[in-house]
Amino acid sequence: MQTLCSLRAPESANDERFDSLARLARRHFGVMAALVTTGAEDRQRVRTCDGLTFSNTARIGRFGDPWGCADAVLVVPDAHCDERFRDHDLVVSAPHVRFYAGYPLLALGGGVLGMLCLLHDQPRELDAAQQAVLKELAQLAANMLAREEADANLQWELDALRQSERRMALAIAGSGTGIWDRNVATGEIHYSTGWKAMLGYADNEVGNHIEESYTRVHPADLEYVKATIQAHFEQRTEAYEVEHRLRCRNGSYKWVCSRGKVVERDGAGQPLRMIGTTTDITAMRVMSEQVQQTAELMTNLTNEIPGMVFQYRRLPDGRSFFTYASAGSRDIYGLTPEQLAGSAEALQAIIHPDDLPLYLASLDASASGLTPWHLEYRVQLPARGTSWRQGDACPRRLEDGSVLWHGFITDVTERKQIEAELQVFATTDFLTQLSNRRHFMQQLEAELARVQRSAGHCATILMFDLDHFKAINDRWGHSVGDQALRHFAAILCTQLRKTDAAGRMGGEEFAVVLSDADIDEAMTFARRIQGELAEAPVLHGDERIPLATSVGIVAINPNDASAESALSRSDMALYRAKRGGRNRIECY
């Protein structure tokens, strides 16, 4: 059975250079976690992980042997169905890995630099398009590693140059840099051996006249090169520096950077001698193009993701602004990235006034504690009304004391609407649209807490029961009975204040809690309800169906152990009213 090799991951923060890539991969594929590792086989190191703690990634490792699949996506759709992995502890226990996909980070010269991995706790597949995106993201990571290696090599070379003049000369000879010395007056130019070798020439294959030198310059670059030299001759620039192409001995062209300076002039200021260097920058140009392509890919990816990817900075003096916003800002905020980059005021102007203080306070708290920012808030967009947004970002403090957030804003309006609908379903009686028993009891508990907390605050409970309701159902049917219940609920609602609450307790029983009202006020309320019922019977065709109600009233006592105990007393009062002949009001 194949095993999961452990990653020797330190208990430390992610490698920030790869953080955005991992977050992008995780959100694009909608998986539990995405991570980038570097190193070979059992010496892998986690460079970044999004979605799991390092204590988990230290055990995750890899499935199979990705070092044996040079250019293929390794996909395990469901580890439970794969005999190689279904008994592994990471499958049967936390984090319960069910799905795995990985692609090696391939070096330009061959070999594997590491892996880009996707993990999920549910089975799934990757189609061809998704596999192609995974490959592209892995290549981005590989390019970043290649640039890292190139930078390290360059730094090593610069350190070596400082050791001695002899070692400097050796380094120049082997680093693709050549030296030239031009006699401006005679038109002669002499090149070092390294300069000639850089273009593939032997010492005796390059002439020493400037006109021959110009024949090696790419025709498209020649006028620019000459103009730059002339500007320095005329002392309009401190030095001569230009990037251009030179033809090699085999006919191909290399990109070079030529730098030079006039070191001797005559009495009239005319140039006599100029010394300079030519450096092969072909590899750097290729790398620059790759970086540009990578940047374009990242920009395209962030622009295609629903929502807005952003970078937000707050300076020590309190000023703040977006240093980056993806094209999704138009959908999220109705503003262009340029408008957001101007200042924070443009955004604050569209945040709902009731939510703006919370929005600002949440950013303050995130900045002061360097804690992740998470907030759901409303925005008001022209012609689109009020919408809900959810923001998530991670802050870090910069050397100058400012705070920089990297994050993501999504539109959660539909989810919030669903939540509101579910809240209504969970708290409302479908037939009467009053609070159901469970929600009414919560409101009653809150009112009891106010009575117990505030001296002098009073409240009363009224329990209503429609008299002879069974007879209505038996004679006219349940549909007319439902109509009677809705009719009574509507009358209750017309008499309620904003501070009061009403609920259907079951069948034909209803309860009302009157906040800041004593027994006398409750009696008046009950009589109004009975009067409204008497004046407004239920209409069924040509028939007028009279309704009457018995009422039990009780004052909420601060010593009540619970809302149920107060409600039970109102039930007793109601029972006395019905036993006393119905259509009566009794107080406990």
Query: Hey, which residues are catalytic here?
Result: 508
Query: Nearest to residue 177, comparing CAs of 276, 98, 312?
Result: 276
Q: How far is CA 534 from the centre of its chain?
A: 60
b (16+ CB within 10 A) / e for 408-424: bbbbbbeebeeeeeeee
Query: Nearest to residue 218, comparing CAs of 258, 274, 182?
Result: 258
How far apart CA 183 and CA 205 sit, in angstroms, is 20
Tokens of 12: 């430390």
How far apart CA 271 and CA 179 sit, in angstroms, is 19
Query: Nearest to residue 231, comparing CAs of 262, 273, 275?
Result: 262
b (16+ CB within 10 A) / e for 385-397: eebbbbbebbbee
**Within a 13 Å sphere around the CA of 417, how many CA atoms are in the beta-carbon half?**
7
**Within a 13 Å sphere around the CA of 107, how many CA atoms are in the beta-carbon half?**
14
Q: First CA to last CA across the chain, in angstroms?
A: 77
Return the bridge partners of 320, or none: 314
Return the bridge partners of 180, or none: 191, 276
